[in-house]
Amino acid sequence: MASEPILTARGLVKRYGRVTALDNADFDLYPGEILAVIGDNGAGKSTLIKAISGAVAPDEGEIRLEGETVNFRSPIEARRAGIETVYQNLALSPALSIADNMFLGREIRKPGVLGSVFRKLDRSAMEKFARNKLSELGLMTIQNINQAVETLSGGQRQGVAVARAAAFGSKVIILDEPTAALGVKESRKVLELILDVRSRGLPIVLISHNMPHVFEVSDRIHVHRLGRRLCVINPKEHTMSDAVAFMTGAKEPPREALAA
């Protein structure tokens, strides 16, 4: 990793009452990589991701995006800065169409008076864009862009959420447990999507409990334990049982990984 990290966090602290969810946590994401974040339940992964994606404001510490210090007060601000997050619950509105969902919160209005006075949405432009993005990611098996999201299968919904993030994320994409609720085939589809997004040069943060998936697609693995980054390991140099051992405290991580 010769290049500078695109997204870094230093000394993040977040307390919820007497619970310290983040205890001086550090984080580094390099351009073009897939960084997996693993950790036991309650290790503080979610809080770390929420801090980076703007859903939670850390009590202490510093987050830098491309070297600039950022202070996100909401996911919207993070999104404006180019960080898109696919939440575990997908944050899709079930009764709205695929196109409406992709543009939720950033709709395109018609040009001219229709748009400025009557605030009319440019449905055809949004549909065209959504269709293009979905087919770019090989999701065009969805035939009707106007169908409600609730009529889609779990994998298709995940696809729509990932496509939305990939379409609008300009700097970083965060995926929280993207395969947790999916079957074997659908998981495969989503993993292919993830690799596809990376091949476009976007770095991805992947939070997952699924070790085979993590080891398959990630370039580096951030192991989170007791509210902080324990170590960063290379999936090619360690086994899944190593990772689980570090994560649960069964084994001490190697010294060089700690320094990372």
> Does the footprint of other proteins cover residue 104 (CB under 8 A)?
yes
CB of 16 to other proteins, least distance (A): 19
Residue 216 lies near other proteins (rule: CB under 8 A): yes
Using the rule CB under 8 A, give the single segment among 19-27, 64-72, 182-190, 241-249 that binds other proteins. 182-190
Per-residue string for binding with other proteins, 147-166, x by CB under 8 A? -x-xx-x-xx--x-------
State the nearest-atom distance from the C-beta of 45 to other proteins, in Å.
18
Rounded Cα–Cα distance for residues 107 and 37 (Å): 32
CB of 12 vs other proteins, minimal distance in Å: 21
Find, among 193, 195, 169, 167, the residue nearest to 182 by Cα. 193
Residue 64 interacts with other proteins (CB under 8 A): yes or no:
no
Q: Which two tokens stand for residue 176?
A: 């929280």
User: Residue 49 or residue 227: which is nearer to other proteins going by CB?
Assistant: 49
Kindly state whether residue 111 participates in binding other proteins, applying the rule CB under 8 A: no
d(CA 166, CA 169): 5
Q: How far apart are CA 101 and CA 91, in angstroms?
A: 9
Q: Which residues contribute to the site for other proteins (CB under 8 A)?
A: 32-33, 55, 75-76, 79, 85, 87, 89-96, 100-101, 104-107, 109, 118-121, 123, 139, 141-144, 148, 150-151, 153, 155-156, 159, 184-186, 188-189, 191-192, 195, 199, 212, 216-217, 219
